[in-house]
Structure 1
Amino acid sequence: MTKPTIGFIGVGLMGHGMAKNIIANGYPLVVMAHRNRAPVDDLLSRGATEAASAKEMAAQCDILHLCVSGSPQVEQLVRGEEGILASGKEGLIVVDCSTSDPVSTLQLAQELRQAGMDLADAPLGRTPKEAEAGTLDAMVGAAPDTFAKIKPVLDCWAGLVVHLAEVGLGHKMKLINNFISLGYAALYSEALAIAEKSGLSVEQVDSVIRPGRLSNGFYETFMKWSLERDENAHKFTVTNAHKDMRYLANLANSVGAVTPVQSDVRNALAAMEAAGQGQKYLPMLADFVAHMNGLKRG
């Protein structure tokens, strides 16, 4: 049985490993260059082919992954003059692995359906390390028949695939997931600042939290910066984190949710980005909060 041809736009920190694992599982792969040629060239050396536009890629593919910065980029790839809709490729399934605004996702799904295409949202959990290993988490919103078609491909790059039901629920769940993790980041950062001002060291705090019930995987990677100055342990920028919390605020507004804690988390990230530190990684929020408290870090 011939395997479907897979397209992949966005072969960056997460996308390269995902695309590599799709090829390794024997699927024909088409990729598209963006800012960095290195991951594209690596995938070409593994047997991928290259398309010049989303329109050209869509015409060649059965399933097309998007793994880009957010909804503005997804919308351009779908609606642009050289975009996916312009291909007219009936039967194409677009899998949006970006962390996107669910309000936008639902509108795009409707537009694609009207063109004879389909959309599944499959945002990611975990880090580039798991992307390379093929053990990411995927939270999927898709019609049952669409999910059945894409599941074997998702299994190439994900160790855990959770089908949440209809399209849009994947992106909603991803924002909830990120709210919890970013809430931890804000909480840990503030707690460390209070601790240090009170005479406790980061190491002393960690000696109690790490072996106890309050530890978790996020805590372990987040704390690598404050403890070891390991900037590569948790490579997620403050700008991306702030974007995700703006998307969640938009979702909350659309459903009429009351969000006092989410507003505080979003504002902590907004403050760091406004200070010109948006490209720093999330664990460095601890330094930013420390500096706001008059403490010297780094």
Structure 2
Amino acid sequence: MASYKIGMIGIGLMGHGIATNLLKHGHALSVLEHAGNQPLNDLLAGGAQTFKTPHELANQSDVIILCVTGTPQVEQVLLGEQGVLQGMKPGCIVIDCSTAVPTSTERVAQLVIEKGGAFMDAPMTRTPKEAAEGRLNLLVGADADLFEICKPILACFSENIVHAGPIGAGHRMKLLHNYVSLGSVTLIAEAAACAQSAGVDAQTFVDVLAMGGGWGAALERLKPFLASGDTSGLRFSLANSLKDLTYYNQMASDMQADRTVAGAVQRTLDQACKEGDPQALLPSIIPLIAKRQFIKT
């Protein structure tokens, strides 16, 4: 596999695993210095360099991978003062692994292309554990030629790579996936809170769902919290969950698609963020809902 000079922006829980695996596969890696990064010691020991601005990072990179919080951050690092577009070399490939609003994705992609670069959206599913193991799922929006060029790079940190369609299709598929995933978790959380109010034993609740139609990934991820209050089965914050449902509802609205249930899930997450710690992990929504039910009764 060819070796590329890769610049990464966003070394959070997911980005750190991606960066680690890129180094393992022999790519020259540079990362943007940012307060939100995970500790960089192991990456620096592995040969990674750091830059203070996206402009400087882009100027030294063949490929730029974004793994930031959402649309505002993507737009800022690409289009802002000292942004990627100010320093990007012709032929540079921008790979956006963030979760973003598809209409914004299409707009910024066009600006990258006008600057002589190429763009693909490649948002992820799975967790930081799989990111560290190089076993993410990627949902790619790009033209077929660019997809084939980039597959060896993407394979450094992913197990399953799906070509969802042209630019924007990856982000659309990611929002559909996260709506179903987070919506299922929120539904089970509300049922678990109701079960608690009804005096149903938590283990009985889990066992009955698991042997019937309630079984699935959402239940498996909530099981540790229901059993012992352990939130580590789902390392995704309330704030990020609300962001993704907000993006989904915006996408559905743009498409004039029905979003009755999605709107209810978004409102539930919004209320949880207001009543609790937005940075708390998603399983902690269960006691927040249970408390709300108790106050109403």
**TM-score class normalised by the smaller sequence:** over 0.9
Question: Residue 234 of structure 2 aligns with which residue?
Answer: 234
Contact 1:32 1:40 in 2 (8 A): no
> CA–CA distance in 2 between the matches of 1:240 and 1:115?
31
Contact 1:58 1:87 in 2 (8 A): yes
Question: Residue 224 of structure 2 aligns with which residue?
Answer: 224
- Which portions of structure 1, spanning 4 or more consecutive aligned residues, are displaced by more than 3 angstroms? none
* 1:49-97 Cα shifts (integer Å, max 9, x gaps): 1122111111111111000110101101001111111014111111111
> CA–CA distance in 2 between the matches of 1:40 and 1:198?
48
Contact 1:63 1:150 in 2 (8 A): no
Amino acid of the structure 1 residue aligned with 2:249: A
Amino acid of the structure 1 residue aligned with 2:233: A
| 2:256 maps to 1:256 | yes
- CA RMSD in angstroms comes to 1.5
Please state whether the residue corresponding to 2:68 is helix, strand or coil: coil
Give runs of aligned pairs for residues 115-264 of structure 1, distance below 5 A: 115-264=115-264
Question: Residue 291 of structure 1 aligns with which residue?
Answer: 291
> CA–CA distance in 1 between the matches of 2:157 and 2:211?
31
**Taking structure 1 as reference, are residues 258 and 118 closer, same or farther at Cα in structure 2, changes over 3 Å only?**
same
Contact 1:33 1:40 in 2 (8 A): no
**Taking structure 1 as reference, are residues 205 and 266 closer, same or farther at Cα in structure 2, changes over 3 Å only?**
same
**Taking structure 1 as reference, are residues 2 and 99 closer, same or farther at Cα in structure 2, changes over 3 Å only?**
closer
Amino acid of the structure 1 residue aligned with 2:78: V
Contact 1:139 1:174 in 2 (8 A): yes
* 1:101-158 Cα shifts (integer Å, max 9, x gaps): 1111011011111111121111110000001000010000011111112111110100
With 181-190 and 71-80 compared, the bigger mean Cα shift is at 181-190
Question: Residue 51 of structure 2 aligns with which residue?
Answer: 51
Shift of 1:233: 2.0
Please state whether the residue corresponding to 1:139 is helix, strand or coil: strand
Question: Residue 267 of structure 1 aligns with which residue?
Answer: 267
Amino acid of the structure 2 residue aligned with 1:209: L
Amino acid of the structure 2 residue aligned with 1:68: V
**Taking structure 1 as reference, are residues 45 and 11 closer, same or farther at Cα in structure 2, changes over 3 Å only?**
same
Question: Residue 80 of structure 2 aligns with which residue?
Answer: 80
TM-score, length of structure 2 as denominator length: 0.95
> CA–CA distance in 2 between the matches of 1:114 and 1:103?
17
Contact 1:223 1:283 in 2 (8 A): no
**Taking structure 1 as reference, are residues 248 and 185 closer, same or farther at Cα in structure 2, changes over 3 Å only?**
same
Please state whether the residue corresponding to 2:191 is helix, strand or coil: helix
Amino acid of the structure 1 residue aligned with 2:200: L
Number of aligned positions between the proteins: 295
Shift of 1:36: 4.9
TM-score, length of structure 1 as denominator length: 0.95
Amino acid of the structure 2 residue aligned with 1:145: D
Contact 2:4 2:27 in 1 (8 A): yes
> CA–CA distance in 2 between the matches of 1:179 and 1:88?
34
> CA–CA distance in 1 between the matches of 2:38 and 2:167?
33
Contact 1:7 1:30 in 2 (8 A): yes
With 11-20 and 215-224 compared, the bigger mean Cα shift is at 215-224
Please state whether the residue corresponding to 1:3 is helix, strand or coil: coil
User: What percent of counterpart residues are identical?
Assistant: 38
> CA–CA distance in 2 between the matches of 1:206 and 1:281?
20
Please state whether the residue corresponding to 2:119 is helix, strand or coil: strand
Which structure 1 segments of 5+ residues have no match?
Answer: none
Contact 2:197 2:290 in 1 (8 A): no
